[in-house]
Amino acid sequence: MKNIIFILSLKGLCSNCTIIRPGEAGVKQNLGKFSDKVITEGTISYNPFISKVLKESTQINNIKLILSIPGKEGLSVNSEISIL
């Protein structure tokens, strides 16, 4: 019986933590309102019933687009665009 209570309490403690890894940033949302503080790294504890932590990568993502655009003369022009 004591083991079951210990396991349930351990699970409850672990469910209200999140880890912000290097290369990520996090913002705590409490009852729909965002906090002004941006968390860059580390472990964050929060109340899972009224708040959550939103994580986003801060690393550079290269998005490459290859498009076929119609030109003025009616010919197709191939265009390659890279967005950082």
pTM: 0.56
Residue 64 domain-assigned (yes or no): no
40 pLDDT band (50/70/90 cuts)? confident
Instruction: Compute the distance between CA of residue 23 and CA of residue 53 in angstroms, rounded to an integer.
Output: 16
Q: What is the mean pLDDT of the chain?
A: 85
Angle at 11 between CA 6 and CA 14, to 5 degrees: 125
Q: Tell me: the pLDDT tens digits for 4-25? A: 887 777 776 666 888 899 989 9
Q: Backbone dihedral region of 10: left (phi > 0), alpha (psi from -120 to 50 degrees) or beta?
A: alpha
Q: Is 47 or 28 the better-scoring residue by pLDDT?
A: 28
Residue 71 domain-assigned (yes or no): no
**Tokens at residue 8, please?**
């349930």
Q: How many domains does the chain have?
A: 1
Residue 66 domain-assigned (yes or no): no
